């Protein structure tokens, strides 16, 4: 999605709030963002990468009892926060 945006940007932040592991991925997005599409694993504009990042997050969620995924859009950015607690 960042490839098609007027201003391309992808950032990754890793932190450890209160002993948990927090990974935040933020990227620019061109066009409308569908919350339903994101909730189902997202889509990629790159052949062979269709929602691979979000699908990996959902895979972790299915295997980790104390894992949480938050998705939101702010302006031209889509942001995903994966929080893994012990």
Q: Answer yes or no: are the C-beta atoms of 61 and 55 closer than 8 Å.
A: no
Q: Are strands 67-74 and 21-28 parallel, antiparallel or unpaired?
A: unpaired
Interval 9-25: pLDDT, tens: 888 999 999 989 999 98
End-to-end CA distance of the chain: 32
Interval 77-86: pLDDT, tens: 888 899 999 8
Residue at token pair 């592991």: 21
Which residues, 6 or more positions from 22, have their beta carbon under 8 angstroms from its beta carbon? 13, 14, 15, 16, 81, 82, 83, 84
């Amino acid at each position: 999605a960042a490839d098609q945006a007027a201003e391309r940007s992808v950032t990754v932040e890793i932190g450890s709030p209160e002993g948990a592991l927090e990974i935040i991925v933020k990227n620019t997005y061109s066009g409308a963002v569908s919350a339903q599409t994101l909730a189902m694993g997202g889509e990629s504009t790159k052949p062979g990468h269709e929602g691979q990042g979000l699908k990996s997050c959902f895979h972790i969620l299915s295997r980790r009892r104390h894992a949480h995924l938050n998705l939101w859009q702010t302006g031209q950015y889509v942001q995903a926060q994966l929080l893994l607690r012990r």
